[in-house]
A and B are shown apart, each in its own frame.
Chain A
Amino acid sequence: MADLTTSFVGIKSPNPFWLASAPPTDKEYNVQRAFEAGWGGAVWKTVGEDPPIVNVNGPRYAALLSQDRRVIGFNNIELISDRPLKVNLDEMRRVKRNWPDRAIVASLMVPCTEKDWRAILAKVEDTGCDGVELNFGCPHGMSERGMGSAVGQVPEYIEMVAAWCKQHTKLPVIVKLTPNITDIRQPARAAKKGGADAVSLINTISSIMGVDLDRMTMYPATDGRGSHGGYCGEAVKPIALNMVGEIARDKETRGLPISGIGGIKTWRDAAEFIALGAGNVQVCTAAMVYGFKIIKDMTDGLANFMDEKGYGTIADFHGKAVPTVADWQELNLNYVEKAVINQDLCIQCGRCHVVCEDTSHQAIFATQNGKRHFEVNDAECVGCNLCTSICPVTDCITMRVLKPGEIDARTGKPVPAGYGNWTTHPNNPMSKPA
Chain B
Amino acid sequence: MSHADLVKKIPPDLQSKTADGLVNLVLNSQNAAKLSSGLARSLLYHWQSDLLASESGLTLLVEASSQLEPQKTSEFFDGLGLNQVAAALRPAVST
Do A and B actually bind? no
Report which A residues bind B (CB closer than 8 A). Answer: none
Report which B residues bind A (CB closer than 8 A). Answer: none
